[in-house]
Amino acid sequence: MTALLVLHLLAASPSDAPAPPQPGEDWYGWQPMVVDGTAIAFWAGGAVLSTAVESTHPVRQAVPLMIVAGGGIYLLGGPALHWGRGRGTTALIDLGIRALAPVTGALIGFGLCFGCSYGAIGPGFVGLLIGMISAAVFDYASLSWDPGEPVPPERASLQWAPFAGTACGEPVVGLAGTF
């Protein structure tokens, strides 16, 4: 899978690279980072509770809820931020990427180790993680740019324009300019 990623990156031409941000654009990628950090905190808390607490302890019942809540925050948090900024199309793109990239990574991981003597669960999980990280990084780097206010075009230092009118009752034509 890493080899495929490297080959894709090597084959990408400079024209495939995302355009640099234009003046007036605002990066808000730190917001989905905070949301994804919250999802990671839920997953880490669930992992700690599942290993540190006895299986009969009532707190252990919170582990599935923490795992599901972390997944919901990961899947819907970033798109909700885009939606809140009035960027519905970007929200739908982010939702699709966050849903499909981990599944694709897991399927690739399972496929690479299908029939391996040690099983395919480990590589499938690694593929899932790679897909999740790739989707999140794509969100931070490419989707989290707010167009902001349009920047007015620069004025030329010399401008001129024809004019026609009357002065003291007589017709007048000419050129007017600023510099």
Identify whether 110 is part of a domain: yes
Helix or strand or coil: residue 126? helix
Identify whether 1 is part of a domain: no
Helix or strand or coil: residue 174? strand
Identify whether 6 is part of a domain: no
Identify whether 174 is part of a domain: no
Identify whether 43 is part of a domain: yes
Which of 1-10, 35-44, 54-63, 89-98 has the weakest average pLDDT? 1-10
Identify whether 108 is part of a domain: yes
Q: Which residue has the higher pLDDT, 8 or 60?
A: 60
Identify whether 4 is part of a domain: no
The pTM for the full model equals 0.65
Range of the domain at 58: 25-152
Identify whether 176 is part of a domain: no
Helix or strand or coil: residue 147? coil
Residue with tokens 């739908």: 92
Reported as a pLDDT band with limits 50, 70 and 90, residue 169 is: confident
Q: Write the pLDDT tens digit of every residue in 2-32.
A: 443 433 444 444 455 455 555 457 889 999 9
Alpha-helical (H) ranges within the chain are 2-11, 30-52, 62-84, 88-112, 121-138
Domain tally for the chain?
1
